Structures are given as structure tokens and as C-alpha cells.
Amino acid sequence: MEETARPAMTEGRAQATVYRRVTADVLATLERPGLGWFALMALVLTGLAFGALSWIYQIKNGLGVAGYVPPVFWAVYITDFVFWVGIAHSGTLISAILFLFRAQFRTAVYRISETMTVFAVMTAGLFPLIHLGRVWYFYYLIPYPNERLLWPNFRSPLVWDFFAISTYFTISSLFLYIGLIPDIAAARDRAIEGTWRHRLYSMLSLGWQGTDRQWRHYNRAYLFLAGLATPLVLSVHSVVSWDFAMAIVPGWHSTIFAPYFVAGAIFSGVAMVITLLVPLRKVFHLEDYIESYHLDRLARLLLLTSLIVFYAYAVEGFIAWYSGSEFERAVFWDRATGQYAWAAWIMYSCNCFIPMALWSSRVRTSWFWMFIISIFVNIGMWFERFVIIIQSLAHEFEPYMWDYYRPTWVEWGITVGSFSWFFMWFLIFIKVMPSMAIAELKELLPPKLKRQKEKLEGRA
Amino acid sequence: MPMASRLRRPILGTLSVLAALVSAACAEDRRVDILVEKAPEQPVLFYHTIHAGQDQIPCAYCHFSADRSEEAGIPAVGTCMGCHRFIQGSTPEFQQNIQVLMEFAADSIAIPWVRVHSVPTFVQFPHKPHVRAGVDCAECHGDVASMEVVERVAPLTMGWCIDCHRQRGAPDDCATCHY
Amino acid sequence: MERRDFLKLAGITGAGTLTACDQKVGPKYLIPYLVPHEDVTPGIPTWYASTCRECPAGCGTHVKTREGRVIKLEGNPESPVNRGKLCARGQAAHQHLYDPDRLEGPKRLDGGRYVDGSWDDSVRALAEGIAGASGEVVLLTGLQTGTLNRFYDEWAADRGVTRVVYEPFAHEPILEAHRRVFGQASIPAYDIAGAEFVISFGADFLETWVSPVRYSRDWAAMHAVKEPGGPAGVFVAVEPRLSMTASNADEWLAAKPGTEHLVALAMANVLGAGGESAGWSPERAAEATGVPAEKIVEMAHRFGGHRSVALPGGVSTQHAQATAAAMAVALLNQAGGAVGDTVRLSPSTSGAVAGSYRAMADLTARMKAGRISAILFAGTNPAYALPPGLGFTDALKQVGLRVSFDPLFTETASWCHLLLPDHTPLESWGDWEPEAGVASIVQPAMTPIRDTRATADVLLAVRRAAAGEPAAAPATAPAGASLEAESWYDYLRAAWSDRAGDEQAWAALLKAGVWTGAVTAAAPAVATPSGDAAGAPTPAESAPLEFGPAEFEGPEGNDAFHLLLYPQIAMYDGRNANQPWLQELPDPATTSSWHTWVEVNGKVAERLELEDGDVVRLESPYGSVEAPVIVYPGVRSDTVAMPLGRGHARMGRYAKHGVNPVTLLPPVSEIHSGALAYQRVRVSMSKTGAWVEPLKAQGSDSQHGRGIAQAVPLAEIIAANGHAADDHGEAAAHHGEPHTRERAAADSGNTSPYRWGMAISVDSCIGCNACVAACSAENNLPFVGPERVAKSRQMHWIRIERYFEDRPDGDLETRHVPMLCQHCGAAPCEPVCPVYATYHNMDGLNVQVYNRCVGTRYCANNCPYKVRYFNWFNYEWPEPLNWGLNPDVTTREVGVMEKCSYCVQRINAAKIAIKDEAPDAVIPDGYFQTACQQTCPTDAITFGNLKDPASRVARLAEGPLAYSVFEHLNTRPANFYLRQVTGRMGAAAEVARAEPEPVAAGADTAAGGGGE
């Protein structure tokens, strides 16, 4: 494989680097947080509080406090839901799929993307509850034996969602955890006896000693989970896309949705990885481990998925025309020219045009520009969901009902809250868990490399 | 094994949380049964044992509209006085109770009977079809004739309704009761 | 949660004592009656026959009560007026009774504040006030007929009190015109049903004019396509604005404001009437009116060639030429030989006895002169209805004692020293004479809910208090009835002694609700226009008429527009303004509600860069108002239109919305009839820069060729003799098999004998929204208020979609489509619900289980018809509005989806009832009706069992006109729509198509599109 031919680290630096330093550098991230960290934490906690209050206010008064305007019965909450599920994707992609493909460049970044996955799913999982009219009856959605002799409707994509998301959450958090075990052990060994850290690490490391036997089991388990997680990358977002594709709403009812959503998810996911990676690298001085080489690889992935999304948009247009359905045509035309054109064009430019800059390798390897672009892509993908959901509904079958929806402060509040919630967990994580895979980084050091290569050939 | 011991607490914790959720949900199913007092104290000590039991007065004499209306009907104070203008009670205790009734009648205040059998407002329960279908009063209300103070014996939960409906081949369509 | 408690509580109790409790467990107490009530069984509705008093038409009603509470009104089939039907105002009548802002009891003004008084004191105060009056005492009543009218006259005569009658829409010009032409001041009975050609000059007879429900029925009978594909009656409307009535016309001739009658005159001329019409050749008329000459000629020939009727009224008899206009139409009827045939000059319908605006002008003058020392207001609200320029309220200050009998604290009441609230009609005894020979009983359906008293009783008490000798009772006093009567009821009873002597007859009468018989001796008296300053014609009245365009005063030029004020179907003259269901009722023309808007033509809007919601200031020489614009293609580009009836300063919390455009009017009456000229000024229109969320329910005025409202030319039906093709090729291009009655019928359980379904006629639907109000009352539909309507959150389970089609001749074609849950056989809403809160039941109903719904709203997204409505909040029913809730229907809580249930409560009731006949009896066709079907004045809605091929609905569904909306989506709806039939004008329409030029006036108004 091309990646393995080019070691992640240049000779010179490889000489200079010793295992101890790897461990030291990585575990350095766990040291007592600085002022910046507390400042950020304070910020996200405020945001979270705002979001929580908005939600309480909504529960007290009813969903009407959100901006819903029939026929727009779904809006920002579902937009956020799909957005976060999307974010959750690259995680598994980078860690599982690239692992199976032995793409070495993943090593430096997969831990971050995995944690991102878990926290993003945790965030996404809130929205189905937030958008319920009577959240206090949410348990009607859970299949449990009840005195009413009633079950959920297994024909409903929303129930599929329930299972898809929970499965995905279970697997990805397990995957993250297994991957962490050796590093936790490393952390445990350097933690002072009797501190809470030591106690925590000892419990979570499950008595890891780094023996050959443990390593063998570990690799098996990891490989196994990687295999298990890979199909989920496709399944979960396909199911999410069916929330729309299974409906008859023009602009939703389309067979391309599953692949289109998966590509979009990976697109936004990779963007988010970059968004997080860039500052992290700076703050923790991980320049030696996360190099512009990794960035370049991520950028290519971003470009690829951007092209797929671009293609999906084009196909939508084609189908709208080719299907001969006046309703599809009307919706597509309205999307480009109607009252929500502003959102549609934000989406087109952020997802299709701006990423075209990635053809230039100078951009691909520039931390600054990649950061900017990744932000744009995040925005663009949020608007993609906004447009798909709201614009399609607003221009539905019944001309009598056509109307225009505007979000209210409650919806913005809860959206801000969801971002805060996500970053809160992330901030906690980087201070509690090693945010890079120590063991695997070591694997990449020159001496190991030969063996690794042989291992690969042996397997192949 | 040490690891297991370390894990026991969290595992037990999770389980108990789940258990709590499920039981909460089940309790929600039975909310009427739980929230509404089973045998509340009534403003007048009225003995079904005497009226329905000893005197064998048919239910429909007082609950006059059960066989033709949605409501079984609660007797007007006038109905009580129909008899108690003449019947003063055989024991001091009875006389006392009847005195209470007399006062209500005299001050022409409607007696605020406390509800024993109650269904949520989103349930439409018409007595008529049930009575017409030959469901005996006692099947839902219990053997009132033997109750000093009327007490709810049936849970009045949806499952309970459905069971009976299915046994009798009555419709179990949601729209039979919910609209 | 009070409303919910009440429901179940009311379900059990007679006395409605409320106790707080949880909806989920029901009420805590069971309160029995003290004494068993003979005609009330808890849980079983009791019906009383009565008469609707929400407008002068006097429709017979059946009032449904449960446990002593009025919960619904339905038309009385016995009544010759409405024959079982009611309009939206009738359907919402009990919100008048349950108005939360009603006066609690008698009050008197004490040091600038109103303090509660007792009835005895109040009556004494009133008696003394009248006795001690130095000057004239005036009893000012609204329009009255029947016994109460006579009582007022008699009492006034006895007390030496002057009686004045004031009714805002009293049709004075029509009375005056007929007085002049036929010597009888009455509104003739127009036989619309019997005519083949109906031409209306401004008369909005499907909305508010004289007797809208009756005329709607008659219109439907006239306009219907007589099977098989035979001829159908033709209806043409001549008026400057496309009113709801005009929107149902086969042709709308948008004459310039104030010139409609010239078209009639020219038509009469063509028919050789001579006389006044002689000078008016079609050409001359065409020039004056903007209606092409050949149109006029064509209409004239049509009129002469068929059994025809021409209707005067509405906006066309409210301008400076009002009387002339009414006369022109009368002349046309005469020339066309309609008089005595379709126009019968019987002694009048109830319009007749109203006083005129001039009477009020005189009254005001007398008050200003200080000649009046006491004034009593009964059932009228001049302080709201009169143009401020008249100075009525200032004049009031000269009057020593001012008394209001209104149940509400109206603008007029707010000027009064004594408030002696009367019962509302549903609590009152009385009668009403819609027309000679017909009397309709008003009987209380429930005991008064406030400390109120019948005005007649108060007046009797006053008389007793004064203990004066009765002056000779005037001739109008009916036999037996005298002021010696103990109470108003005794008086009424006595008045009926000749017609319903013994108790049995009386009971029978109360049961039937209406009495019909020979014209009584009293009737002619009804026909004399009372209320004028003096009975004798004033010089003005006998002054000769000259015909011409009505003059308008006010600004000239490009930004000056004729101001057209019209009574809106829900608000009428404003008396209904505090009834929230009516406030929220979408206006048929603009689909707007809760406010007063300005209708502006699309072209004008373009020129002045106005769009829906832009607030404009209208200025006339007499005043100015600010109101938001609604772009409406149905108003001429030289005209702006505003609805009347809103913008109350008093009356209640719901009435305050909007503005009262009467402030723009000059305080002058039309010279000949003395009527207030509502169409009198031009106004300048200027942008204020403000913008408000448009309260317009309809998103797009065009159906974009989606085949929602389909149509078929009459010729085509006759030719194709059965299979009519629709006019929306693409929209209805069927994928898979076409949807048929059999297919729909198969969509219910094999074991069920039913598949409920509907046939809805786009052709008959006039868009009056009566069904919406009926549904609200039957199914406890909440009103959500303007700020929520602005977000399209209204909860109407059935709505009237109003689509405009541009006709080849440039004219506007309007189609009204009642849209409600289609109860699809393959309902898109069902599979997506994660909790089975909505599903298809054995009888083919698409059921919504409120208590199972968690509110994902997925169903609403997936419903192509968008007929599912979500409870965004817990909606309020301020006490005592909640007393009118139907206990058989759950009130929905926040966060649940709801929608049309085909009145499942009625279906279930029928299923229980039918079992009394046989255990396995099947509900026969027409055994019960849904609320919307029951009240539809044109029978546009037919409900029934699609499985029974003999049922009416099945036969209609199999008919040539049937189609289903969005058929290609294969949702297999249970609602079949019947196409609109176009081209009734036949050849005439062809002529118009050939040369579009002359119809510039029409085209001009049609242009500008709507909203889109």
C-alpha cells in the first residue's frame, strides 16, 4: 500500500524520537489544564445552561415556542439531529475502515475522531426527544411489555432510527474504549497512587499489563470491532436518510438519499475532525505526530466526498426533471429560486464550490486554510439539512398551505446548547484520556516498521 | 475476581435505573388506579349493604340511566327523600346518617359524592352498550351490595378493558373508546 | 385544566360545580340534581327548537343541550327559511351566550365608575328616570319583528315614549324603490330556485343579504346541473368587487363603483322598458360602467329569454344612487316579466320594519337640541355603527338618562348610566317573523347564566312601578296580549293564543319551532317603514329620481381609490365581533381573519410596491385608518375594499382587533331612502412603512395546475354523456389503476359493513365556511388567536381552499374546495407514526388516537393534503366558553396531532343506537350526518357508506363528475370530489373569448394574480 511505503515520520526526527518521549508528549495533554481550558469550559457551560433553559421553557409552554409554521412540521431540531449524526460518521470511517485498509495516516487522528463520534452521537440522540410534542411520553417509542398491550410501529423509520442510533452508539463507544485500554494503562502507570486519576485508570484499564497474550487478544478484539463498525457507517446514516426518503414529500422521496447522506455525513465528519485537530495540534504541540501529511490525506478525503455530494445535488436536479413529476420539479426549482434560495446557495457554495480549492496541494497542506475550509463545510452541511427539511416541506403538494418558516430564539438556544454539550464532553475527554494512540504511534517508529511491513505481507 | 468486583457497582446501577424506568412506565399505565382513592370517605354514610343488599333495591332504581345513557346517573337528593321522608332509620347510627341527608335536602345542597370509578377524560365510556350487552354491574363495580363503603375493585386500566372486550368479542378498535 | 374537568363533570352532573383535577384521572366529585329534571337525562342530549337571532333572517334552529348546557346549534328542517341549514354565524351563536365578556348583571354609573346594582333598584331608577323626564323619551331598538316588535310599539305608546328603530343594513333603498314603483315598501320574495337566469346587482345574497341561508339553498337548486347533463341555471354578478357571491357567478361584470344599476337600466332599455331607462342605451351604459355594450345586450336577451330574476342590494344599493339603483333593478324585473313570477311582492321579509339612517340623523339633531331627556338602547349599537362625523356620541351627552339593555358592554353601553343586560337569544322567550305568514319561536335552551332579565320584563316592571293608567292599546296590539301581563312570557303566550291556544297546541308549537299560516291581520302593519322621523313621506322621499353614476367625494388622481365597504360574512354588522370562532373564520374571499384588511388589486400593488401585510393609511375627507394590505385580484384597480364589523373600542377582548372603516364615511344619507351611503368616498392610499405578518390562511391563490379543484365544461358533460375528462391533463395523469368507488370501498375490514366516505361538490361549494364553524362547535376546535394564525397554526379540521383560474376571456374563475382528512385507504400518515397513534380502522376510518400521540409530527409531514393539525400549545377556553364544549369529544392537550374524524362520535352513537332496532342492524344511508354535511347550505357535502352501492355517496362517487385529489399518489382517498361545471354561459362565453378587447374592465380587475 502506498501509505506504508512512506513512513509517517522522517528519518531525522525518527532518530531523535524515543518511545519515552512519545508517551511523555501524549500524556502531557493530561496535565493540569491551563487558564484557556477553564475559559473554554466556562464558555461551553454557559451555552449548555442556555440550551437547557430553552428546552425547559419549551417543555413548559409547548412546541409552539419554536418557529414551526405549518406545513413545516420539522425544522431546526431535525436539522441538528441529522447534522450531529453526520458528524458522528467520519469517526468510525477513519478509525475502522482506514484501519482495515491499513491506512497508516489514520494513527495520529483516529482517537480524536472516535471520541468525536461518540460525543456527536450523544448529542444527536437528544434531538429526537427535544422535538417531541409530548416528551414526557417518550417511552411510548420503546418496545417494552406494557399493560396496554401496545408496541411501537416497526414500520416507522423513526423506530428504525431508534435502533440504528443506539446500536451505533454502543459499538462506537466500545470501539473507542477497547482502543483506549493500553493507553489508559500507560496513563495509570504514570499516575500517582491514590489520586482519583489512578483509581479511574486502574478501573478502566481492566488490569492491562501489556503482555503478549493481552496484545494478541487486544488486536483480535480491535479488528473484530473494526469489522463490526464498518457496515454501521453505511447503515446508520442510510437509516437516517430513510426518515426522509421513505416519506412521499417531494424533495425527500428519492432513492439516492442513502448514499447521498452517507457521503454527506463523511464529508461533514472529516471537516469536523479537521476543525478539532488544528487547534489541538497547536495547543498540545503535537506537530511531530500530526503533520501536514495527515492533513493532506484528510483534505483529499474531504475533496472526494465533496465531489460525491456535488454529484448528488446534480442527480437530484436531473431526477426532478427526468421523473416528470411536476411536484418534484416545483420543489427543485423553488429550492434554487424560491424563498429559501439564500439557504440553498449557502449550501451549494460551502459544499461544492469552496472545497474546490482543495485541488491545490498548497491549500491542502496549509493548516490555516484547511481550518477555514473545514468551518465552511460544517456550515454548508448544516444548511444542507436545513434546506432539505424545511424548504421541501414549505413547498409541498398543497399550494394552499405553502408558507415561510423562521427559527425562534428557543431553537437557536437549543442548537447552541447542543454544540456546548458536544464540546463540553470533548474538553473533558482531552484532559482525562490520551487523545492519541500511544502504542500505535510507537508502532510507526522505524524499527517497528520493518516488522509491520512483514506482518502486512504475511497477512496479504 | 477483582475486576468483576470493580464492575459490579456500575452494572447494578445501570440495571436498577432500567428497572426504575420500566416500573415507572407501568405505574403510568395504572395511573388512575393509583391516583384515585379506592374507597374514599363519602359526605353521607350511605350503605349499599342496606339498600342493595338487605332491601334488594335494584341498581337501576337509583342509577336510573345506566341502560339508556352514557352515564349511569346519580340519584337526585329528591330521590333519596322519596323514601327517607318516611324512613327515619332503625338504629341511632342510621338515624344520624339520615339526619345528615335531611340537612342536605333541607338546605337544598346537592350532595358532593366522591368519585370512586373514574376513567381519564380521553376515554369515552358509555354505560348503555355495556348494560345492553348484558354486562352485570358487579363485573366492573364489584359486589357493591356487600360493601359498607363502596370500593373500587377493578383496576379500570386499558388492559383490563381490552381483556374483557376480547373475551366477549367486543371491538378492540382504539376508536371505540378514544375520540 | 378546567375545561376538561367540566366535560366529564358535566357528563355526570346537573349543577356544574368545578373542582380542579388531572385530565388523566377525570373529575373528583359527582354532583347530582336536587330534584330530578324531567327533560334532562345525564349523558343524553336534549334538543330545543328555537330561532337564530344572529342576523335578521330568522332561521329556525334546533339547539342541542347536554346536562342543561347548550353545546351545538343545527338548522330546523321545519323552517321554510333555512330548511335545516345554518350559516357560520348561526353555528357559532352559542359563543354569544357563553361570551366571557358578558355583563354579570345590572350596573349603574356612579361617579364615573360602574357599580353593581340590584334589579329592583335599577328598575326603580329607570322608572323614575322616565317618569321624571322633562323632555322626550326615546326607545331605540334594533330591527324587531313579531310579538316583541308589537310589544315595543304598544309599550312606547302607553308610556308616551318615542320608538326609533335602527338597523345598519336595513335595505331602505330597496324598500323606498318598491314603495315608489309598486306602492309597497317591502323587500319582495325573490324566487331564485325557480329561475333559470339570476343576475345580482351587488346583492351578496350568499353572504349577508336578507336571508343568506335560504338564498344559498335556492341558488344551489337553480345552479345545479340537472341530470343527465342537462341544462343548468346561470348566475351573473354585477359589482365592482369579486365578493364571495360574485365568485360563484358564471360571469362577473366588474362595473365601476356606483354604476352597477346603469347596467340594469340599459338591460331594461334593451328589453324595451322605456320610461327612466329610455335614455340609457347599452353604449351609454357601457361608457359609464366599463361593462362592454354587447355584454349588456347579451345579458338583456338572456334575461328576457329565460325565467329570470334580478337582485338589487349590497354594495350597489349603498351609494349616493342607492334608491335609483334599487329602482333600476325593479324596472328590469318588470321589463323582463319577472314581477309576479320570480319576484313576488308579498308583505315583506323581516327587512321591512327597520328604521333608516336618517331617523338616526334626526334623533341626533333632537338630542343635540336637548329635546331628549332619556334614551333606552335595546339590541342596537349606534355608537359603533354610525360615522363619527354625525356626532351621535357627543349628542348623547345632552341626554339626561341613558340606558343600555345589551348583554354586552358595547360602545353604546359605555355611554350609558344604567346597564340592564338582557338575556342572550338562547336564554330568551320570543318569536320572529321572517316573513308574513311565518313565525318562528324563540325559546330558551338553558337557564340564564348571568343575572340578566328580559328587556320586555323590565319594561313591564317599569310600567307597574309607574303605576300609570294604560293608554288605549294601539291597533297593533294582538288579541289577548296586554301590558297588564304579569311577565313577558305571559304577554307572548297571550299573543299566541289565537294561533296556539291550549297548552297542547303551545307544546306542539314549541316542539315544531315554527308556525306557518295565512298572513295575519297584523302583518300589513309590519310592512310600513316605521322609525322614520314621521310616518309620512318627507319631501325628499317624494322628490323625483334622476339616474346616473353615483358621485363619490374625496381625493382625485392616481393614488385615489373608490372605497368599498362591505359586510363581511363572519362579522356582518359587527354584532358577532366578540365570538372568537367567527373572528378566526377565514374570510371566503381573502382567507383572512382576526383583523380589518385593505383589498388592493395586483396591478395597483405592483405600482405602489405593496405586498401582503404592508400597512397602508387610507385618508378620506372625514377620517383616516391604517390597515394591512391584502393583494386581491377580485377588486377593480380603481377601488380598494374593506370589510366592516371589526375594530370595536368596547364589547370584549376578541372584538378589539382590526379597525372600524366607518370612520372614513361622511355623515350623510342617500337622499331618497335616508340610508347611510357606505360607498360614498374616494380615499388616498399611502404606505406607512410598517409591515405585519399577513393573517392570510392561503399560501398560493393558484393551484398550479395540480388538479385539486378540477372542472369540466357543461357542453362536455352533455356531449360525453357520462365520462367527463378533467382539465388538468398532467396533474391527473394516473399512475396505475384509476381510483374508483369499489376500490375505496375495499379499503375497510371484510367483517365491517361500512366504508365511510364523502362526495364533495366543488360545483356546489360556495365557500361560505359554515362547515368550518359547524366543525368547530361539534369537535371542540380551539381558536388560537391572531398571533398564532399569523403562523398558520389555526386548527380548522376542514378548510375551504379558494383557487383562482384565469379564464381565456381574461375573467377570473373561482373554485372552492373543502379540504379535510381524506381517510385514505393507503394513508401516508399511518406507516410513519412510530407509536400507532394513527391507523386505519375496520370501518375504513383513518383514526387519530390523541392519548397515544407523542407528537413527532411525521404524519403531518407525510400527508399530501396537509389536513393534520398540531396542538402547539394548550389552547384556552376562557370561562364560560368551555361550557359549550361537546362532552362526547376529547379536548386535545398540548403536543398532540388532531384532524377530521368524520365525526366518529356520531358514528359510534349511531352504532349504539341502531342496536336498539336489531342486534346486527346496519346503519342505513342518511341515518346520521356529519356536522359539516348537516349545515352545508348548498348540500355540497354528502357523507355515507361507500360499501353500500345504493347510498347517495356511492352513487355520486360513481358519477361522471367524480375525481379524487392527487389520485396519482395512490393514497386511495375516501373523499370523492365532484368537478366544477364551467361554461354555463355557453355560446355567450364563446363570443367573449372571440374578442377579449372589450372586457378590458374585467381583465383589468382580473390581473395581478393573487399572493403568489
Band of pLDDT at residue C227, cut at 50, 70 and 90: low
> What pLDDT was estimated at residue C524?
34
Encode pLDDT of C532-576 as tens digits. 333 344 444 456 788 889 999 989 888 899 999 999 999 999 999
pLDDT over threshold 50, residue C1? no
**Residue of C276 and C613 predicted with greater confidence:** C613
**C429 and C454 Cβ atoms separated by less than 8 Å:** yes
Which chain C residues are within 8 Å of B112, Cβ to Cβ? 17, 29-31
Nearest chain C residue (CA) to B110: C34
Encode pLDDT of C622-664 as tens digits. 999 999 999 999 999 999 999 999 999 999 999 999 999 999 9
DSSP for C880-913, written as a single string: TGGGGS-TTSPPPPTT-EEE--SSHHHHHHHHHH
What is the phi/psi pair of residue B174, to 5°?
-55, -40
**Residue of C232 and C281 predicted with greater confidence:** C281
Averaged pLDDT of chain B: 86
Band of pLDDT at residue C273, cut at 50, 70 and 90: confident
> What pLDDT was estimated at residue C223?
92
Residues of chain B that touch chain C, judged by Cβ-Cβ distance less than 8 Å: 31-32, 35-36, 64-65, 68-71, 73-79, 105, 108-115, 118-124, 126-129, 132, 171, 173-176, 178-179
Encode pLDDT of C342-379 as tens digits. 998 876 554 445 567 888 999 999 999 999 999 999 99
Complex-level ipTM: 0.89
> What pLDDT was estimated at residue A455?
60
- Yes or no, beta carbons of A148 and B30 under 8 Å apart: no
Nearest chain C residue (CA) to B108: C34
Nearest chain A residue (CA) to B161: A148
Which chain C residues are within 8 Å of B127, Cβ to Cβ? 43
Band of pLDDT at residue C990, cut at 50, 70 and 90: very low
Percent of chain C residues past pLDDT 70, beyond the cut: 87
C340 dihedral zone (left: phi>0; alpha: psi -120 to 50; beta): left
**Residue of A292 and C793 predicted with greater confidence:** C793
> What pLDDT was estimated at residue C29?
77
Which chain A residues are within 8 Å of B8, Cβ to Cβ? none
CA distance C614 to chain A (A): 17
Percent of chain C residues past pLDDT 90, beyond the cut: 68
Q: Tell me the C-alpha to C-alpha distance, in Å, between residue C596 and each of A454, C39, C611.
A: 84, 44, 16
- Yes or no, beta carbons of B121 and C7 under 8 Å apart: yes
> What pLDDT was estimated at residue A29?
73
> What pLDDT was estimated at residue A2?
39
- Yes or no, beta carbons of B120 and C36 under 8 Å apart: no
Task: Give per-residue burial for C645-679: e unless 16+ CB within 10 Å, then b.
Answer: bbbbebbbebbebbbbbbbbbbbbbbbbbbbbbbb
**A39 and A310 Cβ atoms separated by less than 8 Å:** no
Residue A387's nearest CA partner among A316, A458, A444 is A316
Provide Rg for chain B, Cα atoms: 23
Q: Tell me the C-alpha to C-alpha distance, in Å, between residue A18 and each of A5, A408, A441.
A: 21, 55, 11
> What pLDDT was estimated at residue C529?
34
Encode pLDDT of A372-422 as tens digits. 999 999 999 999 999 999 999 999 999 999 999 999 999 999 999 999 999
Mean pLDDT of C911-929: 92
Mean pLDDT of C296-325: 92
**C515 and C439 Cβ atoms separated by less than 8 Å:** yes
Q: CA-CA distance, A347 to A353, in Å (whole number)?
A: 10
> What pLDDT was estimated at residue C671?
85
- Yes or no, beta carbons of C4 and B121 under 8 Å apart: yes
B105: three-class secondary structure by DSSP: helix
Q: CA-CA distance, C589 to C944, in Å (whole number)?
A: 30
- Yes or no, beta carbons of C700 and A402 under 8 Å apart: yes
Mean pLDDT of A137-164: 88
> Could you tell me if C24 lies within 8 Å of chain A, comparing CB atoms?
no
> What pLDDT was estimated at residue C513?
93
Dihedral sign computed on CA atoms, order A81, A86, A92, A94:
negative
Band of pLDDT at residue A30, cut at 50, 70 and 90: confident
> What pLDDT was estimated at residue C859?
95
pLDDT over threshold 80, residue C85? yes
Residue with cell 487486544: A218
Band of pLDDT at residue A279, cut at 50, 70 and 90: confident
> What pLDDT was estimated at residue B155?
87
Which chain A residues are within 8 Å of C836, Cβ to Cβ? 150-153
DSSP for C218-258, written as a single string: HHHHHHSB-TTT--B-EEEEE-SB--HHHHTSSEEE-PPTT
Encode pLDDT of C955-967 as tens digits. 999 988 899 999 9
> Could you tell me if C730 lies within 8 Å of chain A, comparing CB atoms?
yes
Residue with cell 495527515: A294
Mean pLDDT of A354-366: 90
> What pLDDT was estimated at residue C808?
73
- For chain C, positions 832-861, list CB contacts with chain A under 8 A: 832-836, 852-858, 860-861
> What pLDDT was estimated at residue A17?
54
pLDDT over threshold 70, residue C288? yes
- Yes or no, beta carbons of B21 and A139 under 8 Å apart: yes
Residue A33's nearest CA partner among A23, A42, A45, A24 is A42
User: Residue C659 is inside which H or E element, if any?
Assistant: none
Averaged pLDDT of chain A: 86
CA distance A181 to chain B (A): 14
> What pLDDT was estimated at residue A142?
86
> What pLDDT was estimated at residue A12?
45
Q: A194: buried, middle or exposed (CB in 10 Å: 19+, 13-18, 0-12)?
A: exposed
Least confident of A372-386, C91-105, C254-268, C509-523: C509-523
> Could you tell me if C41 lies within 8 Å of chain B, comparing CB atoms?
yes
- Yes or no, beta carbons of A150 and C862 under 8 Å apart: no
Residue with cell 341511632: B92
Beta partners for residue C72, in sequence order: C64
Which chain A residues are within 8 Å of C700, Cβ to Cβ? 399-400, 402
HSE, CB side, 13 Å, CA atoms: give it for residue C303. 35
Encode pLDDT of A49-87 as tens digits. 999 999 999 999 999 999 999 999 999 999 999 999 998
- Yes or no, beta carbons of A146 and B29 under 8 Å apart: yes
Encode pLDDT of C701-732 as tens digits. 999 989 999 998 888 877 765 454 444 444 44
Non-local CB neighbours of C805 within 8 Å, separated by 6+ positions: C702, C703, C711, C812, C813, C814, C815
**By 3-state DSSP, what share of chain B in percent is helix, strand and coil, each rounded to 5?**
55, 0, 45
> What pLDDT was estimated at residue B6?
62
> What pLDDT was estimated at residue C523?
36
> What pLDDT was estimated at residue B4?
57
Tell me which DSSP letter residue B53 carries: I
Averaged pLDDT of chain C: 86
pLDDT over threshold 90, residue C285? yes
> What pLDDT was estimated at residue A446?
53
